[in-house]
Every structure is written in C-alpha cells, then in structure tokens.
Chains A and B, each alone.
Chain A
C-alpha cells in the first residue's frame, strides 16, 4: 500500500510548479477583465454570491505564496483522507 503514497509525495514536492502560470484559465478572469473587454461587468458576475473561502485562491494573507500553496495542498489532501476515513468508519459499523 505504501507504493501508492510515493507518487503523491513526489507530486506534492513539485507543487510550486503549479504557480508558474501567471494567467488564469479561460473564463476564470477577474471582474476587471470584463470591464476592459466589454466596457461593463455583466450584472450576474458583478453581484455574484461568493462564499467566504478559508484559503481563497490557495493564498494566505501574510504567508509566502509557495508556502501557502504547499499548505493548501496539504489541507486538501487531509480533508480528502478525512472524508474517506470517516466514511470507512461509518460503513464498518
């Protein structure tokens, strides 16, 4: 079983490579982009309901972006393993 954790650890080590891209994905722009491109921000996008994210955009205020990215990865993995751990316990019962 250990074998499956090695790839995760290796991929995790290289995580900062994910920060290389300065550009967002197509259609995941900041609202200013629409102001520039269209001269207005579509009302639905401007007034969109946003949940307050714990770690918005994988960044943490006051923490180096590479460190924050590593922390984000670890938090995500922990939550996923946590979900399966509790699901496994529930099923076993």
Chain B
C-alpha cells in the first residue's frame, strides 16, 4: 500500500500535504500531552511493532503481496491521533531509510495508512467495544478504508494527468483496476491479517495488564 514517488501528480501530492500537515500538528500536540513514564515505552513499542509487522510481506493469489499495518491496535489503546502519528513516523522512516514509499507521497501514505485506518478503527471500536470481536473488526475495517483511499488516489491519476496525446503521466491504471485490486485484496487477505494481529495483540496487552487503554 506504500505509494512510491512518481505515482501521484504534483497537485495530488500538494493537496495531500495540505490536508495532512495540520493533522500532524494536532497529533503531535496530543502525543506530547499523553507521553509519560508509563505510556512512552508502550507507545514506542507499538510503533516498533507496526514497523516490524509491515515487513511481513504476505504473498496472495494473483502475483502480488501485502502486509498488515498495526494502526488499529494503537488507535484502540491510545486514540486515533496518537496512532496516526506513530504510523506516520514508521512511514517516514520507511521512506527515508529504506526507500519504501516516497517523500512526495509521504503525506498521501500517512493520510491513508495512518489517519484513515486509525480514525476508522477508533470510532468503530467505540461503537462495538463490548463485543469480543471488536479489535478484530476494527483492524480489518480500518485497513480496508486505508486501501480504499490509496486506490482512489492512484486510480484518479490517469484522469487528472496525461500528456497532450493522452498518455498517462503518473499512475496509469484507473479506478476500474485499482479499486478491485487494492480494496479487494485488503478485504480478503490483509484486512483479516490486520484483524487477527489486532485481536491477538490487544488480548495479550489486556491479559498481562500492560495497559488498560483509554476506553477500558
């Protein structure tokens, strides 16, 4: 789901930065408010876990692969703003150090995998938190919404940026291909993995009384 440099038109990159920049500022303030001796090691550990699970590329039928993100787990425990910022930090490191994703597309990736997944998971979890499957479903739906945003950002590129002869300048495939490929694979595979990860990790954290969570 990491959009590389060169896949989004400059106007898309600017628009996503314009939307995400104020959100990062709010999120950073919220993070600073919540950090103390108890929360800091846990928030850092969950960010590290998010980084690590993104390295588990899972092959699926159709010749592609993907991975979980870990946004929902942080969103359930610490709220959507902190989760969004933690995933953004992970994405920044991936782009800068490992060339995974890109700097021009960093805001787009943070918006999709960070903010959209975290806020979706958080608000869904609040609605269904008494249910046993709440962490699983929050993880699943959260990442599916991320994948939808990524698919739309990619799929609109051939509509908004072409050469005078009609050749696409950036990502060349439209929504008709991007939506089923990206959203479909996240509904069927990576969303389930994210859900299982969220469910298992949440249970582990509650059982070992590591953190009671903001909603507990």
Contact = CB atoms under 8 A, between A and B. Distances in A.
B59 A11 contact: no
A15 to B, nearest CB: 6
A74 to B, nearest CB: 10
A40 B167 contact: yes
A88 to B, nearest CB: 5
A4 B45 contact: yes
B35 to A, nearest CB: 6
Nearest to B90: A80
Most B C-beta atoms less than 10 A away, residue of A12, A20, A84: A84
Given A51-B96, A69-B55, A28 B4 contact: yes
Given A21-B57, A26-B64, A48-B4, A76 B97 contact: yes
A45 B48 contact: no
A61 interface: no
A16 to B, nearest CB: 10
B170 A45 contact: yes
B57 A18 contact: yes
Contacts of B4: 28, 48
A73 B52 CA distance: 6
A3 B6 contact: no
Nearest to A1: B41
A75 B170 contact: no
A24 B44 contact: no
Contacts of B63: 23
A18 B55 CA distance: 6
A36 interface: no
A91 B32 contact: yes
A35 B98 CA distance: 25
A79 B41 CA distance: 14
Interface string B41-56: 1111101110111011
Interface in B1-46: 1-7, 9, 31-32, 35, 40-45
Contact of B59 (A1, A22, A40): A22
A80 B48 contact: yes
Interface of A: 1, 3-5, 7-8, 11-12, 14-15, 17-28, 34, 38, 40, 42-51, 53-58, 69, 72-73, 75-77, 79-81, 83-85, 87-88, 91
13 contacts: A1-B41, A3-B210, A7-B201, A14-B56, A23-B59, A25-B64, A27-B3, A27-B182, A45-B7, A45-B170, A49-B5, A58-B98, A91-B32
Q: Closest 7 A-B residue pairs measured CB to CB? A: A48-B6, A53-B99, A84-B44, A21-B65, A21-B59, A44-B170, A18-B56
